[in-house]
């Protein structure tokens, strides 16, 4: 599936990456203070933000996987 990259998509992708970076630094600070559970929660948020920034690549990967399984 061919997607047209619009300026809005690029901005949202950059914001996902920025959010992931902020979550990582906040989690690092929480970990230094001994707040391990909250730190791991923020690292989970970081992971989901990175997954959001890679949403189109992940969709293409899943589409290829599903097409390959359908062809078998």
Angle at 49 between CA 45 and CA 50, to 5 degrees: 120
17 assigned to some structural domain? yes
Task: Look over the chain and give the mean of its residue pLDDT values, rounded to a whole number.
Answer: 91
- The band of 70, judged by pLDDT with boundaries at 50, 70 and 90, is confident
- Structural domain for 54, as ranges: 7-71
26 assigned to some structural domain? yes
1 assigned to some structural domain? no
39 assigned to some structural domain? yes
Name the domain count of the chain: 1
* Angstrom distance (rounded) from CA 50 to CA 48: 5
pLDDT at residue 10 greater than cutoff 60: yes
* Angstrom distance (rounded) from CA 23 to CA 12: 16
- Give the mean pLDDT of 50-68: 90
pTM of the entire predicted model: 0.77
2 assigned to some structural domain? no
Tokens of 69: 């399984």
33 assigned to some structural domain? yes
20 assigned to some structural domain? yes
């Amino acid at each position: 599936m061919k997607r047209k990259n619009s300026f809005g998509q690029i901005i949202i992708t950059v914001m996902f990456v920025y959010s992931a970076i902020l979550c990582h630094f906040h989690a690092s600070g929480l970990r230094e203070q001994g707040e391990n559970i909250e730190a791991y929660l923020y690292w989970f948020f970081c992971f989901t933000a990175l997954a959001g920034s890679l949403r189109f690549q992940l969709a293409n990967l899943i589409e290829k996987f599903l097409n390959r399984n359908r062809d078998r």
